[in-house]
Amino acid sequence: MALPRWTAENLLPPGRHHADLADIYERLVFDAPFQNEREILFSALNSYLGVARRIIPSGRAWIGGAFVTRTPQPPHGLDVVLIPDEWGALKRLDDAGRSALYGLLTLRGVFVGQPAMYLDQVQPVGGMLDGFLCRPGDEDVWAEVWAEGGKGYPEMVW
């Protein structure tokens, strides 16, 4: 199912719109300005979701940020919230799986040892996106944030 056309405000119409990667490419890369920058972000998103699908057996991803708008400036990043269908599957991850999951998430206020340093933020995929994990019961909170200002956003299901 294709993503809807842009509104007069250069946004997707309000609400959550089911999409696959081809739909996202068509509307958010091909049908938007700054295609070169968007191609790079789309590649980051594609890689990110590939890893997420290996770690989270089934779930959804909501895509947000400047990438899902048609602004007169190039988008510098995108946001993804991962919504697992079964939280228990994440609790059963082994150490390697847990490390891989943490690698998908944006971390803020991080202390690193040897050499000791403080980082304001650590982002996946070289800082091209912010990744978040929706805890059970927090879906309505994320939906409000993603729809702020009357924006629509794509939802991918696997």
Which of 74-99 are b and which e, b meaning 16 or more Cβ less than 10 Å from the residue's Cβ? Answer: ebeebbbbbbbeeeeebeeeeeeeee
Q: How far is CA 127 from CA 83, 90, 108, 136, in A?
A: 21, 24, 12, 26
Q: What is the pLDDT along the chain (158 residues), one digit of tens a residue?
A: 689 999 999 999 999 999 999 999 999 999 999 999 999 999 999 999 999 999 999 999 999 999 999 989 999 999 999 999 999 999 999 999 999 999 999 876 656 677 776 556 567 776 789 999 999 999 999 999 999 989 999 999 99
CATH architecture, domain 16-146+153-157: 2-Layer Sandwich (3.30)
* pLDDT recorded at residue 124: 75
Q: What sign results for the dihedral spanned by CA atoms 92, 93, 99, 104? A: negative
pTM > 0.85: yes
